[in-house]
């Protein structure tokens, strides 16, 4: 059985940085907390908890210690509260998300009404939106953008994982809504590149394994992309123990990819497990 | 025979203003010149010449007197030369064109590479472009915009008579060329409204007469729009004397429209001439 691991499987730049900063803080010891899950990987969150890093819902519950800001960023007032409480802050916000937050703040200051292209329920978007000091709207599509009121100056910023097509649709809709439109292209192409590679891999493989948190939007999307070509042979798992030997009946090529929040150790575990199942199948054949 | 005159036939806001300023200057007397044709109507230019207003190609040829800046605007250095030479300046630049010039100047100052959506050969575009102090490109379509190099900050401004669809295509292309795109919606909708009305009128009439300078891009486009529905029964003329009686054989409804540079007196002449031909046809029938 041939195993093909996607080149872009696993940690993106921002998640790698955030995880590194979190484990570094954990190594130092002391009272250490993360504001929300550091990344969308329950296994990484659990490992950090085992090292004494506790997740926290509200920064106001904390009197002292170190607070790690998750990769998706937090709301402006939460960061301010941490500063006011003189907590030690480890800011693991993805630098691309940080840029989007800064653009929203400067657009607001310059008198623009801000349109954020993204998913209103996503913590990254909730964080970005909080940096607006004037009017701000979240739209998920061009269709939603066409419902916006007329504005004189419109600033557009995108959630970093949005598709470029969606940004284009929203900008096109905004062009007929105002006299000036200022767009910051805040999309990180890691997501698009990972999806394109997964799609290509699905075209070659007989079976796809997609590894990543069940709470991770980008991993779910990755599994959807693979399912388009391999509807019954795409398996979204969090850990190696969820793999079933029956998936490999008659399979010659297995493709493996992983979401942006999936650590290397989970990917290695999956590869080891698939190899183990393969050996089992082979020895069954000999017997 | 029913005659239907388009509501939007003739002078737009900018042309009306420019013509008013020019005739006002002509009435005052003294040495008066226009830099290029004041508007794209040979008949208006001729009438001004009869009043002593002479067209001039180069402002540096002039030592004293009054210079009228045409509705399409002029290059920044020509305006500067007129100021340096202490000429009396009547600035008849269309206020919408002026806005586009100002946006290009401020975008350049703020470090943007500027993209002007328009026809590179048109005097309005040549004027607008001249206000850039940094890099500037003229593109006629999204296709041409896709050939642009990558830039960090892109400012987009449109020739005032461009179609909105074309601006959208260029902005979409620019989104993948830079990290920040700032668009000024400088399109004046008078052109689009006039074209839409001409199209609707062509659907009702048996014959269309389009009045306007043969050198006027918007009049030519108007004739094209009408030709789509009445390919052999659309007639682009400059003056009433170009009308042929044979055009009205078997015609019940005549639609009339005119470009943005066509004065009311030329439209009235055309209506009078068509009525005269109608009377002639009727009296021939009686005999």
Q: Which DSSP letter does residue A247 get?
A: G
For residue A174, the model assigns a pLDDT of: 97
Is B49 in the active site? Answer: no
CB contact under 8 A, B181 and A176: no
For residue A282, the model assigns a pLDDT of: 84
Q: Which residues of A touch B178 (CB under 8 A)?
A: 185
pLDDT tens column, A221-249 = 899 999 999 999 999 999 999 999 999 99
Best mutation target among A142, A172, A176 (most B Cβ atoms within 10 Å) is A172
CB contact under 8 A, A168 and B175: yes
pLDDT tens column, A72-87 = 999 999 999 999 999 9
Bridge partner residues of B210 (DSSP): B236, B257
Catalytic-labelled residue, pool A24, A50, A78, A124: A124
Q: Which residues of A touch B115 (CB under 8 A)?
A: none
For the whole model, what pTM was predicted?
Answer: 0.85
**B170 close to A (CB below 8 A):** no
For residue B262, the model assigns a pLDDT of: 95
Q: Which residues of A touch B176 (CB under 8 A)?
A: 164
How far B157 CA lies from chain A's nearest CA (Å)? 10
pLDDT tens column, A93-102 = 999 999 999 9
Q: Which of B167, B180, B183 sits opposite A180 (nearest CB)?
A: B183
- Please state the ipTM of this predicted complex: 0.80
A38-52, A263-277, B225-239: range with lowest mean pLDDT: A38-52
For residue A73, the model assigns a pLDDT of: 94
Asked whether residue A203 carries a pLDDT value surpassing 80, the answer given is yes
* Structural domains of chain A, with CATH: 2-10+190-286 (3.40.1010.20), 13-93 (3.40.50.11270), 96-184 (3.40.1010.20)
pLDDT tens column, A130-152 = 999 999 999 999 999 999 999 99
**B172 close to A (CB below 8 A):** yes
pLDDT tens column, A150-181 = 999 999 999 998 888 999 999 999 999 999 99
Asked whether residue A37 carries a pLDDT value surpassing 90, the answer given is no
CB contact under 8 A, B183 and A184: no
For residue B245, the model assigns a pLDDT of: 94
How far A173 CA lies from chain B's nearest CA (Å)? 9
Q: Which residues of B touch A178 (CB under 8 A)?
A: 185
Residues of chain B with pLDDT under 70: none
A residues 148-167 near B, CB within 8 Å? 164, 167
**B171 close to A (CB below 8 A):** yes
pLDDT tens column, A23-32 = 999 999 889 9
CB contact under 8 A, A172 and B176: no
CB contact under 8 A, A183 and B167: no
Q: Which residues of A touch B167 (CB under 8 A)?
A: 175
pLDDT tens column, A104-140 = 999 999 999 999 999 999 999 999 999 999 999 999 9
* Count of CB pairs separated by less than 8 Å, A with B: 46
Q: Which of B167, B181, B184 sits opposite A183 (nearest CB)?
A: B181
Q: Which residues of B touch A185 (CB under 8 A)?
A: 175, 178-181
For residue B34, the model assigns a pLDDT of: 93
């Amino acid at each position: 059985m041939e195993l093909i691991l996607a080149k872009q499987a696993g940690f993106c730049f921002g998640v790698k940085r955030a995880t590194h900063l979190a484990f570094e803080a954990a190594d130092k010891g002391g009272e250490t907390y993360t504001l929300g899950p550091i990344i969308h990987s329950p296994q990484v969150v659990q490992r950090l908890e085992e090292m004494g890093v506790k997740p926290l819902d509200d920064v106001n519950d904390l009197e002292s210690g170190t607070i790690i800001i998750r990769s998706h960023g937090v709301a402006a007032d939460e960061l301010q509260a941490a500063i006011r409480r003189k907590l030690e802050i480890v800011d693991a916000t993805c630098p691309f998300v940080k840029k989007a937050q800064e653009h929203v703040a400067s657009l607001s200051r310059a008198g623009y009404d801000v349109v954020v292209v993204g998913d209103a329920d996503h913590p990254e978007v909730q964080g970005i939106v909080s940096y607006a000091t004037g009017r701000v709207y979240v739209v998920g599509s061009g269709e939603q953008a066409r419902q916006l009121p007329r504005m004189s100056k419109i600033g557009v910023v995108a959630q970093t994982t949005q598709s470029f097509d969606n940004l284009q649709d929203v900008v096109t809709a905004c062009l007929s809504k105002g006299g000036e439109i200022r767009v910051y292209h805040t999309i990180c192409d890691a997501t698009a590149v990972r999806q394109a590679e997964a799609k290509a891999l699905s075209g070659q493989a007989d079976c796809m394994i997609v590894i990543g948190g069940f709470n991770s939007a980008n991993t779910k999307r990755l599994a959807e992309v693979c399912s388009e070509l391999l509807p019954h042979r795409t398996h979204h798992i969090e850990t190696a123990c969820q793999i079933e030997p029956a998936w490999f009946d008659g399979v010659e090529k297995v493709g493996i990819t992983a979401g942006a929040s999936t650590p290397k150790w989970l990917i290695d575990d999956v590869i080891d497990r698939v190899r183990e199942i393969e050996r089992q199948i082979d020895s069954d054949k000999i017997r």
